[in-house]
């Protein structure tokens, strides 16, 4: 049987995975905005045992709204592990699209309809700050510089051709996550975003970027740390070295032939 064109494949139902750690004040407003923008989507809150009661609040919200689900984890094990757990939960059910979204409000749910619309002609859509039309609001200069340098560094090392490979607001088609070796992914912090986007592109899937407005959180503290930055530098450097070595070996093999 011939495979249906990508655009003919349904993207619904949609699951939005929202990892949380001490996001009690941000969670309810975010879910309200999400379901105002897209009433039909489901949200999975993946809470890493937040001491501020985020998990308990998520349970209360889930009791009132069947579109909200909660996955409790016993410890803070990193953003990557939380997303992998959420992806696994979604793949065990009938969701055709799985979305990543931060809980702090930096990713505007109002941008999600455009992200999902672009998925009609793609396998992975990144909400990008660094394509024409993308914006960053209220981010300190140091964080903007760090983000841009991270994307330049990843681009040089990996050659993926993605402007905002660190973007954390993204939508995957089910088929992508089914093919990726999620159980082998060890990236714990924001390096996880680079890891999955690069693996997706390397598998031959179509990756598209659409502009979004990224707004710095107003409540709570950023989870960025020096250890997260170091992990990204180290892992991306190792992946890049292996990637370039493979390219050189392939080039030499062709010349010998």
Q: Which residues contact 76 (CB under 8 A, 6 or more apart)?
A: 21, 48, 49
Mean pLDDT of the 206-225 span: 81
Alpha-carbon torsion 112, 118, 124, 128, what sign? negative
What structural domains does the chain harbor? 9-256 (3.90.550.10)
What are the pLDDT digits (tens) for 35-81? Answer: 999 999 999 999 999 999 999 999 999 999 999 999 999 887 788 99
Q: Which residues contact 117 (CB under 8 A, 6 or more apart)?
A: none
Rounded Cα distance between 164 and 131, Å, is 8
R_g of the chain computed on alpha carbons: 18
Phi, psi (rounded to 5 degrees) for 53: 90, 15
Mean pLDDT of the 187-212 span: 90
Task: Please give the model's pTM, rounded to 2 decimal places.
Answer: 0.88
| Residue 220: predicted pLDDT | 60
């Amino acid at each position: 049987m011939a495979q249906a064109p990508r655009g003919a494949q349904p993207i619904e139902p949609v699951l939005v995975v929202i990892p949380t750690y001490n996001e009690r004040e941000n969670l309810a407003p975010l879910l309200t905005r999400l379901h105002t923008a897209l009433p039909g989507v489901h949200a999975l809150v993946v809470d890493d045992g937040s001491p501020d009661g985020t998990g308990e609040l998520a349970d209360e919200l889930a009791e009132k709204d069947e579109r909200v689900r909660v996955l409790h984890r016993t410890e803070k094990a990193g953003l990557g592990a939380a997303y992998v757990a959420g992806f696994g939960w979604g793949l065990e059910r009938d969701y055709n699209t799985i979305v990543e979204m931060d809980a702090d409000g930096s990713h505007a749910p109002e941008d999600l309809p455009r992200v999902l619309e672009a998925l009609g002609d793609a396998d992975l859509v990144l909400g990008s700050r660094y394509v024409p039309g993308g914006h960053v609001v209220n981010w300190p200069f140091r964080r903007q510089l760090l983000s841009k340098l991270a994307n330049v560094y990843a681009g040089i090392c990996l050659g993926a051709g993605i402007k905002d490979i660190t973007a954390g607001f993204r939508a995957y088609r089910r088929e992508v996550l089914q093919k990726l070796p999620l159980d082998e992914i060890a990236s714990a912090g924001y390096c996880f975003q680079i890891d999955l986007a690069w693996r997706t592109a390397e598998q031959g899937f179509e990756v598209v970027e659409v502009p979004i407005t990224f707004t710095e959180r107003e409540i709570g503290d950023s989870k960025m740390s020096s250890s997260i930055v170091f992990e990204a530098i180290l892992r991306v450097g190792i992946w890049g070295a292996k990637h370039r070595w493979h390219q050189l070996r392939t080039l030499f093999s062709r010349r010998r032939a």
